[in-house]
Amino acid sequence: MTGQAVLEEILSGPAETAHAALAALVDSSRDVDLRAFVGDALDALGANGFPATVRAFDGLARVVADSMAGNPYHAPGHAADVVASALYLARIERAKGGDGFPNARQTLVLLAAALGHDCWHDGGGNVCPETGRRVAFRLERLAARETAQHMRGIFTPAECAQIETMILATDPAYRRQLGALVDLAYEAVTLSAEELERLDVPAPLAAIAQDRDLARLCGLLADADIFPSTGFGYAQCARQARRVEQEMGCETDAVDDTIRGFLENVVGPALLTRAGAAHAGSRRAIGEAVGTRVPEGPAANYPALFEGLDPPDWRAARDTMRVTLTRRTESVTITKQGLRLSRREGQLLSIARAEPGGDVRVIRAPKAVAPSDRPLPKRPGDHRAGGERTGGGRGSPRPRARHDALPLARNRTPLPAG
């Protein structure tokens, strides 16, 4: 099967054969010519008729292939895997969302970010070779800068900024924060700067909280980055894990330990997007194979969030993104990434997040009712609804005078003497 045939199957074939075509590509991607593969992707997307676009993507593919050559895992074949996975997940997301996201332009932006997301990867992590200390976004900044530079001729400055943010968001150290932002995007919720601090979102990723489409694009790229290891069962995951061990110089006979660490510390309880959640069965099968705890949804992963609620039978719906329950007058939504959102009559009241230790962190507290908004207590003899008093406020009805009240003489003109 040629690269173009594989990509066309991924983009438009039946779901089962599209997944099988992607699996076959991941099996053989170390032999893929990245530049030719990217050209095939542009053909499949109908973008090959624009010379500037073809030149920009070919130039980036050349730099990516040269800069990643020699890495056992972060090799040009990994870039091809992520490009194909991103296009596949975008197709699933579009089918599940119902709002046309991602559209053709957004898919092209996603393709650029997927192609360049590991450009200049040196085979190490985000640890500075000179100091031995972790530097946030060390490798992602290199890739983001290179990718945006190649794409400036065909994308707007805003789109190039999106590409940079999407690549920065692939830093696995911040996957948990990204998961929360993607969940909030699905719930159409934005956060203030103070709330972002409570969620531990670093400044380079703050823009994600204000742009629903950007959050979902970031989620798709982050899921595509690990999909070659999570989307095709244990055997493929073990193959990828051995490449990671070789790249890090820590090859062992216990590859299952590497997989367990990957599932628990990188993947987390679930993939981030609707498209990723549709393939949760593979992630669960891998977990069962290596003996790690298999997520069964929010009720099992975040028991503290269900305080005061009757957890549903989550096993019957464990691959969905969220569950909504009712408590008295409130509607409570628990998401797969551990957020709890309380609403009343459609208005968001509060947001909380489950912490790894079992505690619950409040991200947005319910607003206290201002004194002026509280109904006054009903007094004896007060027959108005809600116990409201009359008088005392501008524009309120004048109180009725009592029979023994005397008019004030002050500031009145005296009557003439008769």
What are 161's two structure tokens? 């900024």
CA distance 82 to 126: 20
CA angle 63, 120, 234 (to 5 degrees): 105
* Residue 58, phi then psi, degrees to nearest 5: -65, -40
CA distance 88 to 81: 10
What are 385's two structure tokens? 């609804």
C-beta of residue 225 within 8 angstroms of C-beta of residue 82: yes
Report the chain's mean pLDDT, rounded to a whole number. Answer: 86
C-beta of residue 319 within 8 angstroms of C-beta of residue 278: yes
Count of CB atoms situated within 10 Å of the CB of 290: 20
CA distance 114 to 370: 49
Give me Rg for the CA atoms of the chain: 29
What are 370's two structure tokens? 């201002």
What are 280-302's pLDDT values in tens digits?
Answer: 889 989 999 999 876 666 666 78
Amino acid at 403: H
| Higher-pLDDT residue of 370, 301 | 301
- Please identify which residue in the block is written with the tokens 């400044």: 203
* Residue 101, phi then psi, degrees to nearest 5: -90, 140
What are 205's two structure tokens? 């990723």
Specify the length of the chain in residues: 418
C-beta of residue 249 within 8 angstroms of C-beta of residue 114: no
CA distance 303 to 320: 17
CA distance 210 to 188: 10
C-beta of residue 204 within 8 angstroms of C-beta of residue 254: no
Domains of the chain (ranges; CATH) run 3-290 (1.10.1300.10), 298-364 (2.40.10)
**Quick one: pLDDT at residue 318?**
53
- Please identify which residue in the block is written with the tokens 């309120």: 396
CA distance 123 to 105: 32
* Residue 26, phi then psi, degrees to nearest 5: -60, -35
| Higher-pLDDT residue of 387, 247 | 247
Between 6-15, 74-83, 154-163, 176-185, the lowest mean confidence (pLDDT) is in: 6-15
C-beta of residue 263 within 8 angstroms of C-beta of residue 292: yes
C-beta of residue 266 within 8 angstroms of C-beta of residue 175: yes
Burial 72-85 (b: 16+ CB within 10 A, else e): bbbbbbbbbbbbbb
Q: For the residues 150-172, what does the mean pLDDT come to? A: 97
Residue 165 has pLDDT above 80, yes or no: yes
C-beta of residue 32 within 8 angstroms of C-beta of residue 228: no
**Quick one: pLDDT at residue 418?**
40
Give 64's contacts (C-beta < 8 A, 6+ positions apart): 34, 76, 79, 115, 116, 118, 119
**Quick one: pLDDT at residue 133?**
87
CA distance 303 to 311: 9
- Please identify which residue in the block is written with the tokens 């490449």: 243
CA distance 392 to 385: 17
CA distance 30 to 242: 14
The SS3 assignment for 394 reads coil
Q: For the residues 164-188, what does the mean pLDDT come to? A: 96
Q: For the residues 256-272, what does the mean pLDDT come to? A: 92
What are 4-55's pLDDT values in tens digits?
Answer: 889 999 999 998 899 999 999 999 999 999 999 999 999 999 998 899 999 9
